Structure 1
Amino acid sequence: MTSPADSPLPARPRLIATDLDGTLLRHDKSVSDRTIAALKGAEEAGIEVFFVTGRPARWMGVVSDHVHGHGMAICANGAAVVDLRAGGELLKVRPLDRETALYVVQTLRDAAPGTAFAVEMTNGINYEPTYPPFLEDPGATVATAEKLLREEYEESAGPVVKLLAQHPDLTPDGFLTLARTTAGDRATITRSSPTALLEISALGVSKASTLALCCAERGVSSDEVVAFGDMPNDLEMLTWAGTSYAMDNAHPDVLAAASGRTATNNEDGVAIIIEQILARL
């Protein structure tokens, strides 16, 4: 773990961008009192906090009670930007067009038979009969991905923000490599789950690219951003930010890519670094 003496911290960061699951949240999906206090301290010091996650906007209740002066969230790996202060108001959507989604579905069906799909839209998620059910979304439509992606469903279902692909037998990293090899020229493909579950966005859409857009709107440079993450879907964000931290529980690729390392999510690793930042101001 990085110690205060050798932390690669900027003199005065203007924005903190933090992943949620495996990073800010503990394993039980709670936010510790120490982390709540650190987030509040950052906001009071004039440092904006962005939650940057693969979660859809409707699953942001885990942190919506802990926003302070800001409350911005980049959701669905960069496909949506929401304001948690306004009840999750949708500010920006970077959709995956349905033709591309259908191409990826067919390509992965051919390359990895047995793949099951779910389609995340702005108004909820729908999935195939063989896809593990979402207990948090009991109103989902269950049908083939081809049917869910038909244009006639677009008006009622809204834009597609993310396609999910799950395989029962392949290893997580093996499935990711296969998908990127066969369809990576048409879409952004990543993962954040410990299982063989891929998350597919429009080409060029990532946590990093949407964070960069939001920072440009605020006149914040990458050198003024401190980012935290733990899984492959955080890699681009961690390498874009001027200062980045991998959690001690992070994927090996994330540990190698980040400029620093902090304690695990269960040990309040994000709070530890924020406290160091505040102590140096």
Structure 2
Amino acid sequence: MTQPATRTRLIATDLDGTLLCHSGTVSERTAAALALAEQAGIQVVFVTGRPPRWMQRLGEHIGGHGVAICSNGGAVYDVHRDRLVESFPLAADDARAVVARLRERLPECAFAFEYPAGFAREPEYEVKMWGDDEAHAVAPAERLLTKGTDAPEGTEAPDGAALGSYKILVKHPDLDPDVFLAEARAAVGPLAEITRSSPIALLEISARGVTKASTLARWCAEQGIDRSEVVAFGDMPNDLEMLAWAGTSYAVANAHPEVLAAVAQHTLSNQDDGVARVIEDLVTRAAA
């Protein structure tokens, strides 16, 4: 196993498919490895496609700083304080243009939005994940992205509810996920960042220039940590920019073929505690 050329000061790891088991939980070995890293003075940052509202279950593992980079870099969230630290939303005109271009090219698309106040979706966008059954605005995307003027003040009208979204979700009923990604990127161009992390035809869209790598780089700069001191782990296309940016990167064995091809170093799968094994080795060698 190749070791970083410099001292490791920060571990940046994706969650689903990388650090977490298939059940979405942290194994005992992985929990112990995360604690070991923190005890050794290595900061652990979760860098995930998950929205902030899905992070509370992992609060005990986040480390002393309490901060996670969520929604593919679109939001920085303090898990311990249950507080959004900052977000990087799509401009309203860009969000509307993204929806319009995808509607024109792929009319079967259905949209949902993550924004500071919560979650909103179109009626056609099925919700199946935990937390999505909480009260939220439901309306056509165009209405969610346009502030109405006829709603009585103080009402919960969905008009404009999704303005300030830092992540747009898009589902397609039958396209191959990788084909869907290619088609969407062709339609939207440089207007926004489009990626995916799900095995189904579900895309994740952020403001132009906003990726896991961009927000992680900002966090590290604030902490005085150089990229050469960062070890990153991932498994899906939404991890590629982060894995390219970090000084040392690993793909788990179950990673998407594009990730396995792009990252030189591999570890065991998420089910086999691949991330934990690397962390244990890093800490052991650092102490030697």
- Cα displacement string for residues 36-69 of structure 1 (whole angstroms, at most 9, x for unaligned residues): 1111111111111100001110100231122332
Q: Which moved more, 1:41-50 or 1:153-162?
A: 153-162
Task: Give the total of aligned pairs.
Answer: 275
Shift of 1:256: 1.3
TM-score by length of 2: 0.92
2:36 alignment counterpart: 41
1:196 alignment counterpart: 201
Cα distance in structure 2, aligned partners of 1:148 and 1:85: 30
Cα distance change of structure 1 residues 189 and 214 upon mapping to structure 2, 3 Å threshold:
same
- Residue of 42, 46, 58 corresponding to 2:53: 58
Q: Which amino acid in structure 2 is aligned with residue 85 of structure 1?
A: H
1:38-117 correspondence runs (5 A): 38-86=33-81, 88-117=82-111
1:141 aligns with 2:140: no
Cα distance change of structure 1 residues 276 and 142 upon mapping to structure 2, 3 Å threshold:
same
1:7 aligns with 2:26: no
Tell me the SS of whatever aligns to 1:92.
Answer: strand
TM-score by length of 1: 0.94
How large is the Cα RMSD of the aligned pairs?
A: 1.5
Q: Which amino acid in structure 2 is aligned with residue 57 of structure 1?
A: P
Tell me the SS of whatever aligns to 1:151.
Answer: coil
Structure 2 unaligned regions, length at least 5: 149-157
Cα distance in structure 1, aligned partners of 2:161 and 2:203: 25
Cα distance in structure 1, aligned partners of 2:44 and 2:34: 7
1:213 alignment counterpart: 218
1:124 alignment counterpart: 118
Cα distance change of structure 1 residues 116 and 155 upon mapping to structure 2, 3 Å threshold:
closer
Structure 1 unaligned regions, length at least 5: 1-5
1:242-261 correspondence runs (5 A): 242-261=247-266
- 1:23–1:264 CA contact under 8 A, matched in 2: yes
**What percentage of residue pairs aligned between the two structures are identical?**
55
